[in-house]
Amino acid sequence: MDVVVQSAGAFVAFIATALRSFTDLFLTQPSRATLKYLEETELKPSRGELIPFKAKQLWEIEVGYSILSSLKPQLDELGVPLYAVVKEDMGTEIQNFRPYFSGEIFVDEKRHFYGPRERKMGLLAFLRVGVWMNGLRAFKRGFLGNVFGEGFVLGGVFVIGAGQQGILLEHREMEFGDKVNILEVLKAARKYVEKR
């Protein structure tokens, strides 16, 4: 019986790996962002005065960029602020996101923070076991998401140092729900503090 179970497990793992490899063929490979590329991005605050500004203002005034709310206490301790940059604001989308995010939220309508080569997952995402596992994990934690707006663009996480310190960490999602290593974010945030 153990041989049958092990064989079935190996077969399922083989199929999952084959599907991931197949869908990778259609996924645009990420292109590394540069500070010069990101700093000219026009951002709009998601509330209050909606006057656009250039993204470089976020780090020229001694601030950095990150997107993990769970690290807020550690980042506050280091003096590193937390921001989210989203690609759109449809209906109450940002308001529904606020309970899960404790930093300031900005809208990048031209989607520079999603480039320089924007990457989309497409319907082939539903063939990937990792996408299903990530979706199930989110659902179990009460994150239901929505079906409004453009939902195929892959995101990422940046930690950007003050001034011309540059990009200290860049993580690009390889599939929906792909998480950044929290220890890497903290390591980059500490570099931000050391070089200030």
CATH code at 73?
A: 3.40.30.10
Contact 161, 137 (CB under 8 A): no
**Distance separating alpha carbons of residues 136 and 130, to the nearest angstrom:** 10
Token duo for residue 104: 């300031």
Token duo for residue 110: 């031209």
* Domain limits for position 183: 2-195
Rg (CA), the chain: 19
For residue 116, which of 33, 55, 39 has the smallest C-alpha distance? 33
pLDDT digits (tens, 9 = 90+) for 104-161: 888 888 888 887 878 778 777 778 888 888 778 877 877 666 656 677 788 888 888 8
pLDDT digits (tens, 9 = 90+) for 155-183: 888 888 877 788 888 888 888 777 788 88
**Distance separating alpha carbons of residues 83 and 105, to the nearest angstrom:** 6
Residue 17: Cβ within 10 Å count: 11
Q: How many domains does the chain have?
A: 1
Q: Rounded to two decimals, what is the model's pTM?
A: 0.64
**Distance separating alpha carbons of residues 94 and 141, to the nearest angstrom:** 19
